[in-house]
Amino acid sequence: MKYLILGASAAGISCGKTLRELDPNGEITVVSADNRIYSRCMLHHMMGGEKSVEELNFAGDDFFSRYNISWIKETRVQKLKVGEKTVQLENGNILSYDKLLIATGAHAFIPPISNLREGKGVYPLRNLEDALAITERVKKVKDVLVLGAGLVGIDAVMGLIKHGLHVTVVEVGDRILPMQLDKLAASNYEKLLKMKGVTFYTGIGLQEVELDEENWVKAVKLQEGRRINCEMIIAATGIRPNIDFIEKDTIKMDRGILINDRCMTNVKDVYGAGDVCSTSPIWPIAVKQGTVAAYNMTGTEKRLEDSFGLKNSLNFLELQTVSLGLTEAPDDSFTVMLQHYKNNYKKVICKDGVIYGAILQGDISYCGVLTYLIKNKINISHIDKDIFDIEYSDFFKMKENGEYEYTV
Amino acid sequence: MMGKEKADKGDDIMRRIMIQRDLCMGCLNCGLACMAEHNEKGKSIYDLDLEDLKNESRNHIGLDKERRPVPIFCRHCDEPECVYTCMSGAMTKDNETGKVAYDENKCASCFMCVMACSYGVLKPDDVGKKVVVKCDMCMDREMPRCVENCPTGCLYIEGGNQA
């Protein structure tokens, strides 16, 4: 059997590893634009100097030899021909496959703001090359603007402040991390970041970018007219799936590739996993999809049981936060329970005995139970306990092999 | 290399700390044993300074809604959520021994594993908030120290070479 995997990040790597475990003799090839295996989620640690480039490798230095996988690196895919079951690479080579996994990920989206795409000194933070370019450029600048205060934007801020730069953050939402946090939880991070000299403009967009004679960024103008000097911009403004090698009307799309719960596309023998899909672009989902795809590619039926994507853990400036499901009650049929002590903030959003969302800031110990209860919509109304005290003990059951499971 | 057959067989015989829940009386000997075993100042119980917050137990005893004690110990799951969610490569499943190992030097302290463990076993360390407090089955020790110190027989070992 000839397996071909496009992409060497979370999804591609987990698929390759699982394929080898399931099929010791199959021929496995990975093609990737990346020339290293690295964790995108750790790029800011490299920018900040806490991790070396080598330490970003999440799969082990010897991954490809250990699992006997051929790797064609630094090579993009030009065209997928599903009829012929071949993939044409940018160097002209053509690879055939019996089973294909598309795990090409996504690229940074830079919005069409005047001069933002044209200017020099504007960087996304998506690939290792971006992080390396930023790390080079920061040596020559003092003022940096970060556009977008989502997870990538705040990651970028963390990497930048280590270099002693003055960082300004512009975010359209009314707070930083608007997808993950409510106002109070966000304000706690804003406070900590302000103490590090970071300036915030929330609830406002960018009007235009001003360039100097050589097209380098020199300032930005906000929508309200304020002008901010900056010599560099990090555009943390979302991602788009890498699908340009896929011919129209072959694989079904909805922003990303559409897959079923066996990670199959509508085209026979073509599977999808990770950020290239229309599912939530988070690490654990990419890993699980890669694994599930591998099972199905080798002929063992396996379904993705967990596609809960509304979860994030944050750890900035020694303040930890976990955000699960809803961050605000949609209407007053929901009950919101709050706990506030010392530097801890906890919030749980319930309706009819089911928890729909939670924010835990400060103490996040053992919070995986909440993740389970939320993603599986477990009714907890029969548990006569303070909601913040509910724990796995209340559902304890041990399987014969010693693993835990839930009694509900 | 671990073929599918071997991985499946491994599931059946994997060495685990088993729990006879009704026998737990919440004496916390297991927690003390764990703290002593992982104390960097020495493994004897007399080396253990309980006022030093660095000493943390990697297992804990919960209380259910009837206030009955319940041992919450890492299961080294067959399909470990903490491993799937780890974006640094710090958390790995060894298909040979069944152990889920944690390498704090690789860890990026994102605590996605804490969020992902369905059974609420994991937490960040209290002092540094840098590493994850996670059972290592006492590494190469013949018998995990918590099991050895359980006076009621609530904890016992099954599977592996010890079966």
Tell me how far apart the terminal alpha carbons of chain A are, to the nearest angstrom.
43
Contacts of B14 in chain A (CB under 8 A): 401-402
Task: Tell me the percentage of chain B whose pLDDT exceeds 90.
Answer: 87
Do B68 and B79 belong together in one domain? no
Asked if residue B48 and residue B109 are part of one domain, the reply reads no
Question: Which of A88-91's residues contact partners 24+ apart within 8 Å by CB, and which partners?
Answer: A89/A31
Q: What percentage of chain A's residues is helix, strand, coil (to nearest 5)?
A: 25, 30, 45
Mention the CATH class of domain A2-107+239-297: alpha beta
**Range(s) for CATH 3.50.50.60 in chain A?**
2-107+239-297, 122-235
Beta-carbon separation of A24 and B16 below 8 A: no
* Whether residue B86 sits in one domain with residue B51: no
Per the structure, the count of domains in chain B is 2
> Would the CB atoms of A402 and B86 count as touching at under 8 Å?
no
CATH number of A122-235: 3.50.50.60
Torsion sign (Cα): B154, B155, B157, B158? positive
Predicted confidence (pLDDT) per residue in A354-392, tens digit: 999 999 999 999 999 999 999 999 999 999 999 999 999
pLDDT tens per residue, range A247-281:
999 999 999 999 999 999 999 999 999 999 999 99
Identify from B18, B88, B129 which residue to disrupt to test chain A contact, counting A C-beta atoms within 10 A and taking the largest count: B88
**Rounded mean pLDDT of A280-302?**
97
User: What is the domain extent for residue B98?
Assistant: 75-134
Residue A187: C-alpha distances to residues A166, A178, A323 (Å): 20, 11, 15
| pLDDT of residue B9 exceeding 50 | no
Of B12, B72, B106, the CB nearest to A392: B72
- Classify the complex by whether its ipTM is higher than 0.85, answering yes or no: yes
The string of pLDDT tens digits covering residues A9-24 is 999 999 999 999 999 9
Q: Is B96 on the interface with A (CB under 8 A)?
A: no
For residues B73 and A83, give the distance between their C-alpha atoms in angstroms, rounded to a whole number.
Answer: 51
Q: Closest by alpha carbon to A97, among A24, A17, A31, A18?
A: A31
pLDDT digits (tens, 9 = 90+) for A304-318: 988 888 899 999 999
- Which position has the token pair 């089955």? B137
B37 and B52, same domain (yes or no): yes
Q: What's the mean pLDDT in B6-12?
A: 46
Task: Tell me if A177 sits within 8 A of A150, measured CB to CB.
Answer: yes
Q: What is the CATH number of domain A320-406?
A: 3.30.390.30
Q: Which long-range contacts (CB under 8 A, 24 or more apart) does B28-31 make?
A: B28/B61, B29/B146, B29/B149, B29/B150, B29/B151, B30/B57, B30/B59, B30/B61, B30/B71, B30/B73, B30/B146, B30/B147, B30/B149, B30/B150, B30/B155, B31/B57, B31/B59, B31/B60, B31/B61, B31/B146
CA distance B76 to chain A (A): 8
* Same domain as B68, residue B9: yes
> Between residues 343 and 382 of chain A, which touch chain B (CB distance below 8 Å)?
364-369, 371-372
Residue in B with minimal Cα distance to A21 = B3
Residues B37 and B55 reside in one and the same domain: yes
pLDDT in tens, A39-88: 999 999 999 999 999 999 999 999 999 999 999 999 999 999 999 999 99
Q: Above 70 in pLDDT, residue A182?
A: yes
Does the pTM surpass 0.90? The reply is yes
pLDDT at A243 over 60: yes
pLDDT at A260: 97
